[in-house]
Structure 1
Amino acid sequence: MTVTDRHGTAAPAGTATLSSTDAVVAPGGRASTVLRIDRARLAARPGLHTAVVTARTAGGAVVSRTPVTFHVEPRSHDLTLTAVPLPGAPADADVLAFGVVVNLDDPSLFAEYVGVQPGEPVVLRVPAGRYSVLASLWDLGPESTRMGLTGDPEVVIGADTALVFDGAAARPVTASVDGVDTVPVTVGITYEQTGRRGLGWSDFAFAWGADAARGSVFAVPMTGPGVGTFSVHAAYGLTAPGDAPSPYLYDLIRPLGSGIPADPHYRVDGAEQARLARIDQRFHLLDIPGTHVSHKRYGFSPTGAYIAETILDNLPAQRTDYVTPGFAWLDEAFYPVGEAGFDMVTQEAQRTYAAGSRQSLVWVRQPMRTDWYDDPAVSYSGCRPSAPFRTRGMLHVELMDLTDQHQRYGCFPIGDESTSSLTLHRDGRLVGERRAPFGEFEIPQAAAEYRLRYDLDLSAVLPVSTRVTTAWTFRSAGPSGTGRAPLPLFALDYALPLDAANHPTAGTSVFTVRQAHGVPVQDVTAFRVWASLDDGATWQAVPVRQQDAASFAARLPVPAAGQAVSLRVKAEGAAGSGIDQTVIRAYRAG
């Protein structure tokens, strides 16, 4: 017989005994013995233990092994939890504290979620030790939802202990920008904590929209524990007052270190404003009936935790955003497609901006077109497609039916009204065809010339980008062993002179050739553009002028009112890669 704890350490001798150590068992019969545990011998080593009783024949052959698991309770005490509502809680609000109680030295010893309502104490039996006892306190009123962080990130429990999730002691989490009129559209505060060992945990208090404007997020002052880690971040989305589209947005993250101050107000003074990164945003409207566009930005802590989110629907054509530098941000925009009943999303990977930097983002600028994605930057989105690649015997590709810019991806399908075809040719011979924007094709390892083509018909869904055909050519040989290799694909970005309604204005169009990561960069040896004013029935070549190694400028023909412009763009590279993309009804004149 052996006795070990959950780490495999043997128990002291005499911890377990059997009432008898031998038995005579007739064929088909039974025998029993009583296992007795002397828990006093394990008083210094509480927790889970396992005794294994092994039965052998007189010759030593193993007949059976019987495990018996038991728990030795350490010195324990009652922890009584109560809750007090947040300041100004409506009398008819539903109030509930969602608490988490975790042993800081060994979370596996005790970690439990608990719900506590005012006037209804909850008693937990916990082993003596150091604990994090924190809660998000909610009050759900008829007109608003409010939240607050309460509790203590380190409580020493050496006797019966009472702790209050004291909403009355909480202070509002607020922010202001010197010299700028703002109202909050998002307010949040999040903590992340780890113990001496094991996985961490976190919680938050957040409000959006009208709740944020009413000051619905609170926090109790607290200091960090002496073991493990504890970090707190507050987040704010601030816009101009009033109902008109705000010309600016402040997306701010304030690191509070290992605690929450007595006054959690965040004042962004002139020096702090000078450090903010600036993003000049342009929002276009897809040229369809009932169009709209909305924008969302997520913020992440240094550990990758989600700590900020601002979403706005009432957008101007241009907006200036100011964001806290040094943190990862992820942007996305939403726009309608046909009558599918939902919005499409166009999303980027995470970006971190330098202090005082300035950059620009353009959203939903036509033409919408097919593309691939291989941005190496971090993205936790489940919508993110994998980069095209091949192995020694397989080629894998995932395409976006529609995107507004290279290295953006969508999340929702176009719908059953669209038709598509994905084909792969190797040295001029058809390898396979798929009726979807993704697929895997069996191919030999030897080097060859490939042509990947995707035909998308959206004429039953959209009045623009009604048909998009893209063909990629490239040379590729398979890697050895079990490795994978990226495909040397080209992509196109279009910067056309379109207004916010995606209608043409006077100006020069700029086309940029993008190349896959992880492969040698190729010189662009040929670049051509054609335009059509009759949905592709006839085409006219458009003169182009090379601006740099990857960009080309052209002046496209001017359409009559209501007339659509279709585009065909073709680029070729020195190492055999190329792209040939046709977008029927790329945009229309107003």
Structure 2
Amino acid sequence: MRQRGEQPTFRRLQRAAAAGEHRLEVTVLNRDGAVATSDETNWLSIWPLDGSDPAGTEVDNGHGEGSLPAGDYSLNAEVDHQEADGTWSRTIIWLPKVTVTGDVSLTLDARTANPVQVTVDKAGARPAGTEVDLVQRIAGRRRHLTGTFGLAGDHLYVTPASAEGGTEYEVQSLLTQNGKTEGSPYAYNIASKAAGVPADLTLSARTKDLAAVKVRYASEGRPGCAGAHAGVDWGTGSVLSFYWGAGAVPTTRTEYYTPGLDWLRDEALTTADCAFDENDIRTRTDRFPTAGAYTRSWNKGPLGPADGRLILDTGNGTGFSAAMLSERGALSNIRRYSFLKGDSALVSLSGESIGQSVVPGYGRIWARPEPGRYTLTTNATRSAPWSDLATSQHVVWDVMVGQDDIIKLPTVEYRTALDDENRAPANTTQTLTLTLQQAKAGVKPTLWTSFDDGESWTPVSVSADGDRWTASFRNPAKGFVSLRTKIDGAVDQTVIRAYGLR
């Protein structure tokens, strides 16, 4: 499971009544009707409906109290409870509007909640993870108030709520073969949302109504293991996603998605033992507009930099980032780890160092450069045990600093026919497509290939193909093909071992 997005900070209520404020007392009951223990619930969240910062109070053995000024508030608490059959349940109790004009005493009863149920029409498919989110429009802004999740065998419950006041209920679930997170030949990612919290919380889907995505998990030439997450971006700034293991690569699997939603998906490639101690991660957002057949892939080369930015005012100096191991349509994570090392530097034309870092594709807290022309260089060397590709990268940007706070750095994205181990046939003609990202319109790239890991380079002619460029050349008899592309006055990027040969 992975959660993204900024989480709010809650101030603690003063327990004693403050001058001009009122006492709030809350009793929380579990699903058996007994006063909840501190192990079952320990916090009450309080959101002022005027848009002020959220607050909260500790719940001690089912009792919470605090001091509040007059006003309208949204309250929620979560209750964990062991059921009679030994399984665990999680209940969200939500009161979207509580008006405080004097002292208030409330009872939050988990027995008033209804069960969340998830089904698909695939025999043997069981939930491996289910998430519920509650959203409310507060002071004109959609706010993610709370959410909870359950893994295989857990039970979720939510109290009903009307749609008044801009309340929303969002639910998503991952279903796999028997609910397992490893080795399932398929994965169902289904989701829905509703105004308010309906009494019937059944989420069901038919396979024919979903996007059926044939996903190829490629290897990068060496034994490896892949795992993935998927979660809906509901537009609230918080995304939770569930994990499933694809296993040894290369492999192909069918994944089903509710169409019409923005699915934030990521994939990690690690060592063959699936340890995930260190890995490469790539992320993309997919929206499948309608039900039907689609194809996608992960780990398909050639890999290279993407989404480069020089941010001159981060609020804490000048920063730089570029996703150095990106593939077509998916951005890599930006970091330095034991298998990826290098450096980055921003230098003036006179040789003055503006900033340096020991991380490839990343730098921060540099001095803001004066207007003028600069060179931004990043180097990356890679020795990952799951990959024999992109073993070295060297990228040089010509940067003109003016008044803009954000400078987008041009890169070149490659596309070519490779098998599921990122190999191409030896001694055959290879066609390469080049797409210029964040580059000025009308510029033409220059391309070179190398068959000896960059010791020597051969120029290759390119031809315009709409808004892209294409080139053809003959692969050598063995080894790897390296690529270098230059856009005059913008970028010179080199990747050693862009793909291998078979």
Query: Which TM-score band (shorter chain)?
Result: 0.7 to 0.9
RMSD: 4.5
Separation of aligned partners in 2, 1:468 and 1:309: 32
Structure number with greater CO (CA < 8 Å, separation at least 6) is 2
Alpha-carbon shift at residue 235 of structure 1 (Å): 0.9
Residue 203 of structure 1: aligned partner: 146
Residues 390 and 421 (structure 1), Cα distance of their counterparts in 2 relative to 1, 3 Å cut: closer
Quick check: 1:219 aligned with 2:157? yes
Q: Select the residue among 506, 522, 534 that pairs with 2:442.
A: 522
Instruction: Show the counterpart of 2:236.
Output: 303
Opposite residue 243 of structure 2, the aligned amino acid is I
- Relative distance call for 1:461 and 1:421 in structure 2 (3 A) is farther
Contact kept? 1:547, 1:553, Cα under 8 Å = no
**Aligned counterparts of 2:51 and 2:312: Cα–Cα separation in 1:** 44
CA distance 1:417–1:327, change in 2 (3 Å): closer
> Distance between the aligned counterparts of 2:258 and 2:188, measured in 1?
9
> 1:179: Cα distance to partner?
6.0
Alignment of 1:12-27 (within 5 A): none
Residues 249 and 320, structure 1, Cα contact 8 Å, conserved in 2: yes
What's the CA shift string for 1:280-327, capped at 9, x where partnerless? 4321223345x2111112322243333x41211135723343333444
Q: In 2 relative to 1, CA 528–104 (structure 1 residues): closer, same or farther, beyond 3 Å?
A: closer
Contact kept? 1:453, 1:469, Cα under 8 Å:
no
Q: Distance between the aligned counterparts of 2:106 and 2:412, measured in 1?
A: 63
**How far is the alpha carbon of 1:549 from its aligned partner?**
3.5
The answer to whether 1:483 aligns with 2:404 is yes
Task: Quote how far apart the aligned CAs of 1:173 are.
Answer: 1.6
Measured in 1, the distance between the counterparts of 2:455 and 2:24 equals: 83
TM-score, normalization: structure 1?
0.65
Q: Which amino acid aligns with 1:319?
A: R
2:41 maps to 97
Where does residue 363 of structure 1 map in the other structure?
Answer: 298
Structure 1 partner of 2:378? 454
| Residue 28 of structure 2 is aligned to residue 81 of structure 1 | yes
What TM-score, normalized to structure 2? Answer: 0.74
Match of 1:283 in 2: 217
Which amino acid in 1 is paired with 2:30? A
Query: 1 CA distance for matches of 2:351 and 2:463?
Result: 36
What is the aligned length?
468
| 1:490-501 paired onto structure 2 within 5 Å | 490-499=411-420, 501=421
Unaligned runs of 5+ in 1: 1-47, 49-68, 88-92, 375-386
How far the C-alpha of 1:495 sits from its partner, in A, is 3.3
Where does structure 2 lack aligned partners over 5 or more consecutive residues?
1-13
- Aligned partners of 1:152 and 1:277: how far apart in 2? 36
Whose strand proportion is higher, 1 or 2? 2
Superposition pairs of residues 111-150 of structure 1, within 5 angstroms = 111-115=55-59, 117=61, 132-139=74-81, 145-150=88-93
Quote the offset at 1:552 in angstroms: 1.6
SS in 2 for 1:251: strand
The one of 43, 52, 71 equivalent to 2:19 is 71
Residue 206 of structure 1, CA deviation: 0.5
**Following TM superposition, by how much is the alpha carbon of 1:363 offset from its aligned partner in structure 2, in angstroms?**
1.7
| Greater radius of gyration (CA) | 1
The corresponding residue for 1:557 is: 475
Contact 2:214 2:296 in 1 (8 A): yes
Find the counterpart in structure 1 of residue 282 from structure 2. 346
* 1:235-384 → structure 2 map (5 Å cutoff): 235-241=172-178, 245-261=183-199, 263-269=200-206, 273-274=208-209, 276-277=210-211, 279-289=213-223, 291-306=224-239, 308-315=240-247, 317-336=251-270, 341-348=277-284, 350-356=285-291, 360-369=295-304, 371-374=305-308
C-alpha change, 1:478 and 1:99, in structure 2 (3 Å) is: closer
Q: Is the 8 A contact 1:423 1:430 kept in 2?
A: no
Q: Which of the numbers 229, 236, 248 marks the counterpart of 2:166?
A: 229
Inter-partner Cα distance in structure 2 for 1:572 and 1:101: 54
Q: Which residue of 2 aligns with 1:409?
A: 332
Deviation at 1:565, TM superposition (A): 0.3
**How far did residue 96 of structure 1 move?**
0.6
**Residue type at the aligned position of 2:92:** L
What is aligned with 2:371? 445
| Higher mean C-alpha displacement, 245-254 vs 355-364 | 355-364
Written as runs of structure 1 = structure 2, the 5 A alignment for 1:382-401 is: 387-388=309-310, 397-401=320-324
Query: Structure 2 vs 1, CA of residues 551 and 144 (structure 1 numbering), >3 Å: closer, same or farther?
Result: farther
Q: Distance in 1 between matches of 2:319 and 2:45?
A: 46
Q: Match for residue 43 of structure 1?
A: none
* In 1, Cα distance between equivalents of 2:484 and 2:33: 61
Structure 2 counterparts to residues 38-57 of structure 1, below 5 A: none
Query: CA contact under 8 A between 2:116 and 2:158: conserved in structure 1?
Result: no
The residue type equivalent to 1:511 in the other structure is T
What amino acid is aligned across from residue 445 of structure 1 in structure 2? P
Distance of 2:53 and 2:222 partners within structure 1: 59
- Contact 1:457 1:467 (C-alpha < 8 Å) held by counterparts: yes
Note the alpha carbon deviations across 1:464-486, whole angstroms, 9 max, x for none: 24642434454x6443xx53362
